[in-house]
Amino acid sequence: MNTEQKLSVLADSGKYDLACSCKYDYEPGRVRGDAGKWIYPSALPGGRKMHLLKTLLSNECVNDCTYCPFNCVSNTQRCTLEPEELAAMFSRLKSARMVDGLFASSGVCGSTEKTMAKIIAVAEILRKKQHFRGFIHLKIVPGASDEAVRQAVMLASRVSVNIEAPSPERLAKLSRRKDFHNDIIRTMKKINEYKQLKKGSKGQTTQFVVGAAGESDREIVIATHRLYNGYDMERVYYSAFQNTASDEPAGDEGFVREHRLYQVDYLLRKYKFDKNDILFDSDGRLDLNRDPKQVWADSHPEFFPVNINRAGRYELLRVPGIGPVGASRIISRRRNGRITDASELAAMRVRHRLAGSYIVF
Ligand code: SF4
């Protein structure tokens, strides 16, 4: 295989990993492929207009993660890029103005240390030989040595290690070889430690695979809250498990679940919701039919109606249909006099039909 053929296989393999800044305003976060499965954007030679080359260095892997199409028992086409090949290809794509950043990840090819050495070598070539100053996201292999983590943090704009599951027990259902505390949590702590040594360092990100370990939404939300508050996580991503071994088109329920988890994530990060404000059924599941903010509002009738002309930012953000932008615009608009009807709210990016049941003027 030549480099382009390898990149074609490996960039396609990288589509399952969301833990990077791969979404741009002019393109959807993902699209449905012919087999009914979701495809995440990535850049390929001669391909669509995109900005981030997102690829694995290798899809060979000694690990046994049950959810992963590249685990050691799967029957898939394998290939490996050498660091020089990937760096040269990135440079060509960059010169052609097809990409302006790199997301590099890899299966565990031989050993963790050898794999990390290759990932780091790509960034070293780009930074030190090609003097590339743009965005590089390096995925750290769980269980990497402290020195490998340090080098990755120093070279990359952003690093991440995927948590995959909310607890040691759940992770044990997905892999016999990954240790939740030693391989993942310890690595996250090391990333934070080394980030302190680097000026202007961006936060780390991580990703859950949703629905592969029998975990509940409550378990994921509690773990997410802990990541944001205890591990200085910048973003948590959620990726619905897709059974790539099955020819059946992926069902929608997992993706609706993923969508609800993203809504909860926003509530935790942007709306000052606490984990105790997120409501679940007796099995720890989110309501798939309603936005979690609306579920909270409908369970707290004593909080409503909120007076749109008197409420503070906290109260406004509790109203379904009012987001951070809408709340700011309402507060700013009130300086010029009372808001008197719903049509005014529409111009402030408020979903006024939804908000209407929860507000008065
Ligand atoms: S370590 Fe990564 S590439 Fe290997 S089986 Fe697990 S998820 Fe897949």
Q: Which residues of 67-102 are buried (b: 16+ CB within 10 A; e: fewer)?
A: bbebbeeeeeebbbbebebbbebbbebbeeebbebb
Q: What is the pLDDT of residues 302-325, one digit of tens each?
A: 999 999 999 999 999 999 999 999
Nearest CA to ligand 1 atom 5: 71
Q: How many helices (H) and strands (E) does the chain have?
A: 13, 10
CA pair distance 64, 70, nearest whole angstrom: 9
Cα-to-centroid distance, 331 and ligand 1 (Å): 48
- The CATH number of 300-360 is 1.10.150
Which DSSP symbol is given to 15? G
Q: What is the pLDDT of residues 164-196, one digit of tens each?
A: 999 999 999 999 999 999 999 999 999 999 999
Strand order through the sheet with 158-160: 52-56, 101-105, 135-139, 158-160, 204-210, 233-240
- Interface predicted TM-score (ipTM) of this complex, two decimals: 0.99
Q: Among 79, 70, 141, 143, which residue's Cα sits nearest to residue 104?
A: 141
The pLDDT, as a whole number, for residue 32 is: 55
C-beta 63 within 6 A of ligand 1: yes
Beta-carbon contacts of residue 178 (< 8 Å; ≥ 6 apart): 63, 65, 142, 143, 164, 171, 184
Cα-to-centroid distance, 206 and ligand 1 (Å): 14
C-beta 56 within 6 A of ligand 1: no
- Nearest atom in ligand 1 to the alpha carbon of residue 59 is 3
C-beta 237 within 6 A of ligand 1: no
Nearest CA to ligand 1 atom 2: 107
The CATH architecture of the domain made up of 3-292 is: Alpha-Beta Barrel (3.20)
- Tokens 């202007």 locate to 200
The pLDDT, as a whole number, for residue 43 is: 44
Res 9 pLDDT > 90: no
Res 153 pLDDT > 70: yes
C-beta 273 within 6 A of ligand 1: no
218: confidence class by pLDDT, cuts 50, 70, 90: very high
CATH 1.10.150 in the chain, residue ranges: 300-360
Q: Helix H segments across the chain?
A: 3-13, 83-95, 112-124, 146-155, 168-174, 186-195, 217-230, 253-270, 292-298, 313-317, 324-334, 342-346, 352-355
Tell me the percentage of the chain whose pLDDT exceeds 70. Answer: 88
| 3-class DSSP state of 223 | helix
256: confidence class by pLDDT, cuts 50, 70, 90: very high
Rounded mean pLDDT of 122-141?
96
Range picked from 94-108, 163-177, 244-258 for highest mean pLDDT: 163-177
CA atoms within 13 A of residue 223's CA, in its CB half-sphere:
27
C-beta 271 within 6 A of ligand 1: no
The pLDDT, as a whole number, for residue 40 is: 53
C-beta 103 within 6 A of ligand 1: no
CA pair distance 345, 322, nearest whole angstrom: 9
CATH 3.20.20.70 in the chain, residue ranges: 3-292
Rounded mean pLDDT of 185-210?
92
Q: What is the pLDDT of residues 14-46, one digit of tens each?
A: 666 655 444 433 344 555 555 555 455 554 444
C-beta 107 within 6 A of ligand 1: yes
Q: What is the pLDDT of residues 53-90, one digit of tens each?
A: 889 999 999 999 998 888 999 888 899 999 999 999 99
| 3-class DSSP state of 162 | coil
Cα-to-centroid distance, 111 and ligand 1 (Å): 12
The pLDDT, as a whole number, for residue 20 is: 46
C-beta 68 within 6 A of ligand 1: yes
